[in-house]
Amino acid sequence: MTLDDTAVERLVQEARSGDAWAFGLLFDHYHLPVYRYIASRVHRPSDAEDLTQLVFVKALEALPRYEARGIPFGGWLFRLARNTVIDHVRTRHDHVDLESASQQPGVDAGPDEVTVARQELDDVAAALAALTDEQRDAIALRFFAGLSAREAAQVMGKQEGTIRGLQFRAIAALRRQLRIDEPDTDRGQDAASDGRVGR
Amino acid sequence: MNDDMIDLAAGDIRLRRRLEAYADDRLTPDLTATSRLRARVLAHAHRRADLTRADAALSIVPATASRSAIERGLRGRRRAAFTLVAAAILVGAMVGGAAASSSPGGALYEGRLWIENVSLPSEPSARAVAELSRLGDRLREADAAARDGDEGAAAAALAAYERIMTEASIAVVHAGDAVAAAALETGLGRNVEVLEALAGRVPSRAADAIDAAVARAIAKSTGAIDSVGSVERPTPVRGSGSHGTAGGDQGGNGSGSNGGHGGVGTGSSTNGPEATPKPTKAPPEHPEGSGKPTATDRPDATRKPTKTPKPNAEAPGVPQGDGQD
């Protein structure tokens, strides 16, 4: 689903007036990046689902008080998500659970390929777990939620340059952990993609 | 290290592919989870929309509908009851003054409540509004009695409040009327706030008894709100948008990572779970006329809900305590 900034703001105004249909469209637009961000921070799918629901319910309740004031709705929503995750981690002492993370079903392939694919995913999970909280936050917002560096900076309450620095150090650590040492040949083509996943 | 170098590092295709695979496999909800999530969130949104509509109804209806309905009731089939109460008032006047007797705890108080009850309109939403008006009267009586330190009167008013509230919620649940339920739920929620404020204003000489009565009324209000809240709210039927709004609010129409885009047609489902959406920017590859529906082409005139003008003086711009670091 594609919405431009103007459409989002218009839907926000309608949702503020009690239009559930408009809020449904906002949900459709944002639920996947919000879920991915949360899932990357809490690791248990059931927690990610509950927290995603909580974020949208909180957004619904807080919508009458929302005013853009330089922060677009998406940034505002991800702030809610980030604070919700922080609260969850603080109160539940949530931490990386690699065993539960590796219980996901694999791809549709033969046993050996499944094992290899799972191992690779587990390696990524372990590498992400080894990052600092801020680095992991930056990677989650930039790569999994698909935010720009500026948007991630707004969500984390930091300067854009700080986010880029966190991202750089995180990427270096991930490459080291995953043993991706040699530069890829088609890297140049992807440099323009601004480091986003799935674009 | 400048930004270009950082982005170059970020553009490492192998790392990107592995993160992408990880996001697709481990960080993407399945269809069931997405549908469940959407249904829950949308149920909450509809509930809130009902409350918003009820807010509007509460600010408009009492001055017109409820009064006329009550007058109709008085003129109609319950004239006999009116006569009976008139006789009771006459008796009250004989023993010591009707005004004093019909105050909370007085001899004619129950009679006054009874006449209110028999003159209630039968239409569910008008009845709910009239019941809220009666509940408001009881709260004012309890407040006045509490200010005077009259424990007996306050207790009588609050007991009447509980009784009316119970009857009203039973009637709403029995009728199964969504508008009436939303109106009553909203009104009871407000009354809880009034009761809590009342608890803080009770003079110390009468505090214990009145506090207990207020606490009981609040507890019963919570139960009544839950009970009324269980009344099923229908999904509003949407207008005839060009991209097919039917089913837009149905949680079960989920479509993978796009989460049940029943309300926006089927074009979005082609994005598939592989694509990581970019929340706040519109990709340029969806020009007008490409067949992809967007919210911007949605006709306004066919589906605007009732708007509730709400004061926004307290708006801080970001959610208090949640949206700020």
Q: What is the mean pLDDT of residues B183-187?
A: 78
Q: How far is A147 from chain B (nearest CA, A)?
A: 6
Give me B26's structure tokens. Answer: 């481990």
Q: Does ipTM exceed 0.90? A: no
Cα A156 from Cα A79, distance rounded (Å) = 7
Taking only the tens place, the pLDDT of each residue in A81-133 is: 999 999 998 886 555 444 444 444 444 556 677 788 888 899 999 999 999 99
Q: Which residues in chain B have Cβ-Cβ distances shorter than 8 Å to A48?
A: 27, 29
A29 and B275 Cβ atoms separated by less than 8 Å: no
What's the confidence (pLDDT) of residue B38? 92
**Dmax (CA) of chain A:** 54
Cα B120 from Cα B118, distance rounded (Å) = 6
Does B39 have pLDDT greater than 80? yes
3-state secondary structure of B317: strand
For the ranges A10-14, B171-175, B261-265, the maximum mean pLDDT occurs at A10-14
A153 and A160 Cβ atoms separated by less than 8 Å: yes
Looking at per-residue confidence, does A131 or B264 come out higher?
A: A131
Cα B113 from Cα A137, distance rounded (Å) = 61
Q: What is the mean pLDDT of residues B90-116?
A: 69
Cα B61 from Cα B79, distance rounded (Å) = 25
Taking only the tens place, the pLDDT of each residue in B68-79 is: 555 555 566 566
Question: Kindly report the CA angle at A103 between A98 and A109, in degrees rounded to 5?
Answer: 125
Residue B141 is classified by DSSP as H
3-state secondary structure of A66: strand
Q: What is the mean pLDDT of residues B146-175?
A: 85
A11 and B295 Cβ atoms separated by less than 8 Å: yes
What's the confidence (pLDDT) of residue A68? 66
Asked if A21's CB is within 8 angstroms of B263's CB, the reply is: yes
A194 and A148 Cβ atoms separated by less than 8 Å: yes
Looking at per-residue confidence, does B143 or B6 come out higher?
A: B143
**Confidence tier at B9 by pLDDT (50, 70, 90):** low
For the ranges A28-42, B134-148, B239-253, the maximum mean pLDDT occurs at A28-42
What's the confidence (pLDDT) of residue B67? 53
Asked if A84's CB is within 8 angstroms of B11's CB, the reply is: no
Q: Which residues does A42 contact at the CB level (< 8 Å), separation at least 6?
A: A48, A51, A85, A88, A89, A94
B37 and A31 Cβ atoms separated by less than 8 Å: yes
A125 and A96 Cβ atoms separated by less than 8 Å: yes
Asked if B277's CB is within 8 angstroms of A24's CB, the reply is: no
Chain A CB within 8 Å of residue B299 CB? no
Instruction: Return the closest-CA partner of residue A83 out of B88, B189, B323, B213.
Output: B323
- If contacts are CB pairs under 8 Å, which of residues 44-103 in chain B contact chain A? 44-46, 48-49, 51-53
Asked if A187's CB is within 8 angstroms of B12's CB, the reply is: yes
Asked if A49's CB is within 8 angstroms of B33's CB, the reply is: yes
Asked if A198's CB is within 8 angstroms of B23's CB, the reply is: yes
Q: Given A21, A32, A71, which is nearest B257 (Cβ)? A: A32
Distance, C-alpha B299 to centroid of its chain:
27
Taking only the tens place, the pLDDT of each residue in A152-174 is: 999 999 999 999 999 999 999 99
Cα A108 from Cα B227, distance rounded (Å) = 48
**Shortest CA distance from B31: residue in chain A:** A32
Does B134 have pLDDT greater than 80? yes
Chain A CB within 8 Å of residue B310 CB? yes
Asked if A194's CB is within 8 angstroms of B40's CB, the reply is: no
Q: Which residues does B143 contact at the CB level (< 8 Å), separation at least 6?
A: B194, B198, B201
Q: What is the mean pLDDT of residues B260-288?
A: 37
Q: Which residues in chain B have Cβ-Cβ distances shorter than 8 Å to A192?
A: 11
B295 and A3 Cβ atoms separated by less than 8 Å: yes
What's the confidence (pLDDT) of residue B79? 63
What's the confidence (pLDDT) of residue B2? 43
Q: What is the mean pLDDT of residues B231-248?
A: 45
Cα B235 from Cα B246, distance rounded (Å) = 11
What's the confidence (pLDDT) of residue B82? 57
B7 and A112 Cβ atoms separated by less than 8 Å: no
What's the confidence (pLDDT) of residue A11? 93
Dump the DSSP string for A3-64: --HHHHHHHHHHHHTT-HHHHHHHHHHHHHHHHHHHHHHH--HHHHHHHHHHHHHHHHHHGG
Asked if A29's CB is within 8 angstroms of B277's CB, the reply is: yes
Cα A73 from Cα A2, distance rounded (Å) = 15
Chain A CB within 8 Å of residue B4 CB? yes
The sign of the CA dihedral B283, B285, B287, B291 is negative
